[in-house]
Amino acid sequence: MSDSKRFDYERSDVGLHLVGWLAAGLATFVAVTPLVLPVMFPLSTKPMTPASRPALSSDAPPLDEAPRATLQTTRDGQAKIERGYGWTDKTRGEVRIPIDRAIDILLRKGLPGWPSP
């Protein structure tokens, strides 16, 4: 017996033809892409000067200079509304009450049309 071993590959895995076709397809894609992109996007090949830059949209909202302060102000306002009493629609007699108070009223009176606990 010979002590030398032959190195081989697992034949039940991927076929060499498939690997070859995939490599050829990838090489073709890499070679053709730079030729096709300028045709698809012709403005990308023109040099840009500072004067020819596209104008910024004037209808875009400005950036917030202090987002944390704005967020805190918004949260404080929401908390004040959620914890306080007030009119939602005075003409229809709708009021806003705190959530804890609303839960207490529902537990005491129940919902109309539902069986009482």
Q: Which tens digit of pLDDT belongs to each residue from 13-51? A: 778 899 999 999 999 999 999 999 999 998 888 877 777
pLDDT of 45 reads: 82
Terminus-to-terminus CA distance in the chain, angstroms?
Answer: 90
Residue 51 included in any domain: no
Contact 83, 77 (CB under 8 A): no
pLDDT-derived band at 2 (thresholds 50, 70, 90) equals low
Q: Tokens for 64?
A: 């917030």
Q: Which tens digit of pLDDT belongs to each residue from 45-84? A: 887 777 766 666 667 778 889 999 999 999 999 999 888 9
Instruction: Give the residue, 108 or 1, on which the prediction is more confident.
Output: 108
Ranges of H-type helices in 41-117: 67-83, 99-109
Domain holding 87, by residue range, is 81-117
CA 38 distance to own-chain centroid:
30
* Number of domains making up the chain: 2
Over the chain, what is the mean pLDDT? Answer: 86
DSSP letter at 96?
E
Burial-class residue 2 by CB neighbours within 10 Å (0-12, 13-18, 19+): exposed
